[in-house]
Amino acid sequence: MYLEKYNLTDRVTVVTGGGKNIGLACVQALAEAGAHVIIAEIDPSIAESGKQTMHQAGYEVEVMQLDVTDSYAATATADAVVEKHGKVDILVCNAGIALNTPAEEVSDEEWHKVIDINLNGVFWCCRAFGKHMKNAGNGAIVNLGSMSGIISNKPQPQSHYNASKAAVHMLTKSLAGEWAGQGVRVNAVAPTYIETEMTRIGMDKPEWFNTWLEMTPMKRVGQPDEVASAVLFLASDASSLMTGSIVSVDGGYTVW
């Protein structure tokens, strides 16, 4: 009974930024559960690399090019998925960036870049795919937030990143409230530092990394599959009573 709740056989799933790192781990987790997964990536070469990695692991996935900052592209992608497959069941909004710049040195362009990808891109995709889910009367959306949307990290400066993730959390709650009556669940995962290319810069700086570990009760960073496991839970029927939840996957970082 309980394992069956994780069965995603034939569920059409889109993962933005799904070609590598946390996104690719989510693709594999969802594919292992039986979902038909589409990697939506801005860079075709990254999408193809992710597709080949999944093929070698025994899973066939699709790829589509998508710039999440382009609202028209998000709508066109959602429409194309539904036109081809007749539905869309799951959306994972994973695409995002982090930059470390002191607030007084952040240019207008850098601020807009972070907000465009991390927040606007999430909204454009939720809006585009959410319309189809509402029309169908069911669907699950999982947004990638961050513990940085709950606390302010130190010692690295990243005010724009933190602000964008806090906004993703509130957007998640807002959409959950609006769409619950139409059968669409919207939740978010808030990870700690995960060992990826994005955090490697900080991990290579002892003055940063030692502080991260000191402030984390479990005394370690996470791995992409540990985030993907939470995403799988929120995308599946195992979390059928959950919407508007921000699930911390942070090694205990936010308990302090």
Question: Which residues are identified as catalytic?
Answer: 161
| Type of residue found at 146 | S
Distances in Å between the alpha carbon of 83 and those of 72, 133, 182?
A: 16, 13, 21
CB atoms within 10 A of CB 97: 15
Maximum distance among all Cα pairs of the chain, rounded to whole angstroms: 54
Asked whether 212 and 221 are in contact (CB, 8 A), the reply is yes
Asked whether 114 and 168 are in contact (CB, 8 A), the reply is no
Distances in Å between the alpha carbon of 38 and those of 26, 60, 231?
A: 11, 9, 15
Asked whether 248 and 234 are in contact (CB, 8 A), the reply is no
